[in-house]
Amino acid sequence: MASGLFALLDDIATIMDDVATMTKVAAKKTSGILGDDLAVNAEKASGFISDRELPVLWAISKGSLVNKLIILPVAFLLSAFAPVVVTVILVLGGMYLAYEGAEKILEWIFPHAHGHEKVDLEADITPEQVLAQEKKKVKSAITTDFILSVEIVIIALGTVVDQPLSTQIVVVSIIALLATVGVYGLVALIVRMDEFGYKLIALNPEDNTFSDKIGRLLVQALPYLIRIIGFVGTIALLLVAGGIFSHNIDFFHHLLPTWPGIIKDFVLGLAVGIVILQPILIFKKIKGKKTP
């Protein structure tokens, strides 16, 4: 009886160790998406009235949890009954990541103006209109989160697709939960960074104190921090995409065998992204000419 109990405990410990190891691997593989997710959501959660930032972020977080509750069962069913589909979706997701990364790099090299809705600051805006705009932005953020969540879940699942289904469920669920709690927790800290800075500046009536300097630093650093996160996230997107191609497509796997892995993955991701980007740019150009 005792020996059987110890054997059971040993099996549980082994399973937990395997889960911890696979979770670390999955977290590393999805780090690029998480970085991009962080940058995108930090941008989408900013721009609201100060006292509405956290309620809006909470609404987006709840939407993100619902997204993952929808995506996870579908992903596990595919893994159990059609694992080849997981690989296909993984490669398609890699193509999307490569395109997204290449598009952002093109934007850095050849920046162009984006169309934004102009807001008349002098016009009287009713609370109902403010809430309507808020709901619109929240809906847009949740839709973007759904796309990113699919990528995170599929990439995490791709790292454990050869493991037992129970291990897949535990590992991918942990990654999905970390993606929501971790990303939106950091976003909350980022979007409130300037507010905390203003409070430090107003902490005392004296001018140019230590708290004033720290406060101004936090306020001025916020836009740069979001840009840095966006830059790192873009590079990580291309690395993740290249890694997907290298590990799941034989041609790319045997290509450039003497190159360091990180350089090879970046070049593959960027090259595929540029190839995908070209016809899309041509289509947009033709569509722009036809639009009066």
The amino acid present at 283, given as its one-letter code, is F
Picking from 35, 132, 100, 141, the residue whose alpha carbon sits closest to that of residue 273 is 100
Identify the domain containing residue 154 by its residue range: 26-110+125-290
CA–CA gap between residue 148 and residue 77 (Å, rounded): 20
Both tokens assigned to 198? 């203003």
The vertex-221 CA angle with 28 and 186, nearest 5°, equals: 35
Per-residue pLDDT of the chain (292 residues; tens, 9 = 90+): 445 444 433 444 444 455 556 566 566 666 656 666 666 666 666 656 666 777 888 888 889 899 999 999 998 898 888 888 888 888 888 888 889 889 989 888 877 655 444 444 445 566 676 677 778 878 877 887 887 788 788 888 877 877 888 888 888 888 888 888 888 888 888 877 877 888 888 877 777 788 888 888 888 888 888 788 778 778 877 888 888 898 888 888 888 888 998 899 999 999 999 999 999 888 888 877 665 5
pLDDT of residue 120: 47
- Establish how many alpha carbons lie within 13 A of residue 243's alpha carbon, considering only the half-sphere containing its beta carbon: 18
15 in a structural domain: no
pLDDT in tens, 77-90: 988 888 888 888 88
Q: Helix axis angle, 165-191 relative to 127-159, nearest 10°? A: 140
DSSP 158-216: HHSTTS-HHHHHHHHHHHHHHHHHHHHHHHHHHHTHHHHHHHHHTTSSSSS-HHHHHHH
Contacts of 171 (CB under 8 A, 6+ apart): 19, 22, 23, 26, 156, 159, 160, 163
155 in a structural domain: yes
Q: Answer yes or no: are the C-beta atoms of 155 and 176 closer than 8 Å.
A: no
Q: Answer yes or no: are the C-beta atoms of 57 and 192 closer than 8 Å.
A: no
pLDDT in tens, 125-158: 666 766 777 788 788 778 878 877 887 888 888 7
pLDDT of residue 119: 43
CA–CA gap between residue 282 and residue 99 (Å, rounded): 14
Output 259-266 pairs: Cβ under 8 A, ≥24 positions apart: 265/238, 265/239, 265/240, 265/241, 266/235, 266/238, 266/239, 266/242
CA–CA gap between residue 107 and residue 288 (Å, rounded): 18
- Number of structural domains in the chain: 1
56 in a structural domain: yes
4 in a structural domain: no
pLDDT of residue 264: 92
Picking from 149, 137, 141, the residue whose alpha carbon sits closest to that of residue 178 is 149
Both tokens assigned to 17? 């160790």
226 in a structural domain: yes
Helices and strands of the chain, counted as H and E runs: 9, 0
21 in a structural domain: no
Q: Looking up tokens 């579908």, which residue turns up? A: 74
pLDDT in tens, 53-105: 778 888 888 898 999 999 999 988 988 888 888 888 888 888 888 898 899 89
119 in a structural domain: no
DSSP 50: G
Q: Answer yes or no: are the C-beta atoms of 46 and 191 closer than 8 Å.
A: yes
144 in a structural domain: yes
CA–CA gap between residue 96 and residue 151 (Å, rounded): 9
The amino acid present at 129, given as its one-letter code, is Q
